[in-house]
Amino acid sequence: MPVLHTPPPALMPIVRPVLRCFLAALALVLLGLHPRVMQAQSSTLGDIQLLFNGSCTFSSCHDASSPAANLDLSGSASDIYNALVGQNPVNPSALGKGYRLVDPGQPENSFLLRKLARSAWDDYYPLEAGEGNPMPSSGALAHEDIELVRQWIQFGAPASGQVVDPDILSDYYGGLGKSKLARPAAPPAGQGTQVRLGTIFLGPGEDVEYFYKKPVACDDSTEVTRTQVFFNDESHHFILYRYPEQAAADNYRWGLREIYEPGGAPDNDVQIVAAWQDPYDIPLPEGSAYFWAEDEVLDMNFHIFNDEMDSVLAADVYVNIYTRPRDATQPTVEMFSQILPIDIFAALSGTGWVGQSLVIPGDGAEYTFEDNIWFPVAEPPTWHLWYLSSHTHSRGVDYDIYLRNTGEQIFEGFYNTDYSFNQGFYDWEHPPVRIFDELLPVYMGLSGGLRHEAKYINTTGSTITWGDRTTDEMMLFFIQYTEQPLPDLTSVDDPSASGEALALQLSPNPARHSASFQWNLRHAGEVFLTVYDAMGRVMATPSAGAVYGPGPHRLQLDISTWPAGMYTVVLESPEGRRMGQLLCMP
């Protein structure tokens, strides 16, 4: 996970040079150690040249003598690059949509891939009316060959260098691959958009972390009310950032960027939107929203680890971004997000690297680290806390957060993921997520602020320090807050104001190992949440009359032992009754 992003605006001039030095030093230390960087420098473009030159279909349709669509793919690797990368298609429909034959880093905007793709391979790139027939006309390429083209485009369509291992693709499509993530439903038309990062292929034991720029259709007349994420169970984390200015986005290339490459990880040019260690839905509380500017560019950070030693992992991330028009008559406050580290003052003062105090001997003893978070500025803000979660790697055994002035504990690391009960231990892979039904105001000046404390036990026999790999350690917490109280919406004409409960949300859906149930209440009351199987038998009662306060709520349920099939979820409260269908996958 990256170290520090989006400090308060008043502190950014101090933080930026410190973190640039840190990231630059990290890149110099690690450059050359990553398995993809160490690959022999053959050329992925050369592999694609052999693919195109070796196909009789391409030789007859796109040769030099009579190239269809004025596209000659029979030449050298350099000729093919110049013919494809950044070039406009001759098809009027594709051209009108802004497609390029190959748009580096953007597979879905590359008309070449859409012509090659087949739904049996991946249904994310359909040809639409007016875009002609799939190619080659004599039949589809092998799946691993189509994948080679997508991977080359996804990594930025470089003119040289090996960015894709064809052997990994052959192994995956040859039967050594783990099942792909099913594509989830996108938001309804007019209510948002879906963006995708992937597919990324990892060989046995491979551990990678990528960043990926992604444009999203949004403008300053809309606001983002919900982010819903789906990704593989093997994920270590996924973080969604945004570039508040186009100039900042221009500083980073398109395509998958490894965190260890120079310029791979963004500096303070991004602002965090949200972070996930498990895939779930984040519906913001009523009266709040993320405010995005016109033509936002996202930066998607995905850390994934293939823990299998005999199979290839195909990793994907899908993000559903729900939006609504901004309404001047309906009050909305902006939701902010931060990732806060240990040693924040060392970073701010320039006296050391972030995480310099995180030194954990490998002797099996318990070590405790803490840090205070407050802002030495003339007018410190008050944060109205809505969301808290923690982040360590596998040596973390507890994580607690307190109000600095009173010592009151507001986050206990021993709680389960949905913060419904104390399970007696810290689950570093699935840390608790605390949602404050009533936002908690915290003055962030000298007499206020927060204190976070983490404990570690390292039995490796070697000292472990701060680092991005799972073999290193971290001490971070993620927070979402507003700088104003939520507006009073009792007079707003919406479904909940009339005593009707908001819609029941189920995620992920389909689900395999666990499912999350979300709802919103206008008033406090008893909630009955029941799950029935196809025969009408009760499978679970996550809530059997517990009293919940006004605001958003979420419960998570382990369904790993349930038979595959369709289940009915019923939510009952004084504000109404809602039902949903949950598909449990094998």
pLDDT tens digits, 490-533: 544 444 334 444 567 887 777 878 888 888 887 788 888 888 87
Spatial separation of the C-alpha atoms in residues 282 and 117, rounded to whole Å:
33
Mean pLDDT (whole number) for 252-265:
88
Edge-first strand order for the sheet with 297-305 is 257-258, 207-215, 297-305, 235-243, 271-276
**DSSP-derived secondary structure letter, 124:** T
- Quick one: pLDDT at residue 348? 62
Q: Specify the CATH architecture of the domain 31-37+180-325.
A: Sandwich (2.60)
Max mean pLDDT range (275-279, 359-363, 537-541): 359-363
Spatial separation of the C-alpha atoms in residues 481 and 288, rounded to whole Å:
10
Q: Do the Cβ atoms of 277 and 237 come closer than 8 Å? A: yes
Q: What are phi and psi of 254, to 5 degrees?
A: -75, 155
The answer to whether residue 374 scores a pLDDT higher than 70 is: yes
Q: Which CATH number fits the domain 335-482, given the four candidates 2.60.120, 1.10.10, 1.10.3470, 2.40.50?
A: 2.60.120
Q: Exposure string (b/e) for 423-444, b if CB count within 10 Å is 16 or more?
A: eeebebeebbbbbbeebbebbb
- Quick one: pLDDT at residue 212? 95
- Quick one: pLDDT at residue 33? 36
Q: What are phi and psi of 32, to 5 degrees?
A: 100, -10
Mean pLDDT (whole number) for 556-563:
87
- Quick one: pLDDT at residue 32? 38
The answer to whether residue 6 scores a pLDDT higher than 60 is: no
Residues of the chain with CATH 2.60.120.310: 31-37+180-325
- Quick one: pLDDT at residue 513? 80
Whether a cis peptide bond, with omega within 30° of 0, leads into 199 is yes
Q: Specify the CATH architecture of the domain 494-586.
A: Sandwich (2.60)
Among 3-12, 236-245, 446-455, 479-488, the range scoring the smallest mean pLDDT is: 3-12
Query: Can you say whether residue 336 is alpha, beta or left, with left for phi > 0 and alpha for psi between -120 and 50 degrees?
Result: beta
The answer to whether residue 417 scores a pLDDT higher than 80 is: yes
Spatial separation of the C-alpha atoms in residues 263 and 242, rounded to whole Å:
17
- Quick one: pLDDT at residue 60? 59
**DSSP-derived secondary structure letter, 166:** H
Residues of the chain with CATH 2.60.40.2550: 494-586
**From residue 524, how far is each of 203, 371, 439 by CA, in Å?**
50, 36, 15
Q: What is the DSSP track for 252-314?
A: S-SS-EETTSTT-S--TT-EEEEEESS--EEEPPTTEEEE--TT-EEEEEEEEE---SSSBEE
Q: What is the DSSP track for 44-84?
A: HHHHHHHHHHT-HHHHHHSSSSS-GGG---SS-HHHHHHHH
Residue with the larger pLDDT of the pair 335 and 500:
335
- Quick one: pLDDT at residue 497? 39
Spatial separation of the C-alpha atoms in residues 309 and 60, rounded to whole Å:
43
What is the 3-state secondary structure of 246-260?
Answer: HHHHCCCCCCCEECC
Q: pLDDT-based confidence at 439, cuts 50/70/90? A: very high
Q: Do the Cβ atoms of 333 and 285 come closer than 8 Å? A: no
Spatial separation of the C-alpha atoms in residues 423 and 307, rounded to whole Å:
26
The answer to whether residue 174 scores a pLDDT higher than 60 is: yes
Mean pLDDT (whole number) for 172-181:
91
**Structure tokens that stand for 403 in this block:** 């109000």
Specify burial of residue 260 (Cβ count, 10 A radius: 0-12, 13-18, 19+): buried
The reported pTM is: 0.72
The answer to whether residue 28 scores a pLDDT higher than 70 is: no
Task: Give the percent of the chain with pLDDT over 70.
Answer: 85
Tokens 């799946």 correspond to what residue?
143
**Structure tokens that stand for 178 in this block:** 């783990």
Strands (E), 405-524: 409-412, 433-443, 450-457, 464-465, 476-482, 505-507, 514-521
Tokens 């551990």 correspond to what residue?
207
Q: pLDDT-based confidence at 63, cuts 50/70/90? A: low
Q: Do the Cβ atoms of 273 and 301 come closer than 8 Å? A: no
Task: Give the largest Cα separation in the chain, rounded.
Answer: 81
Spatial separation of the C-alpha atoms in residues 141 and 118, rounded to whole Å:
9
- Quick one: pLDDT at residue 350? 61
The answer to whether residue 128 scores a pLDDT higher than 70 is: yes
Task: Give the percent of the chain with pLDDT over 90.
Answer: 42
**Structure tokens that stand for 314 in this block:** 């195909």
Average per-residue pLDDT for the chain: 83
Spatial separation of the C-alpha atoms in residues 416 and 235, rounded to whole Å:
19
Mean pLDDT (whole number) for 91-99:
94
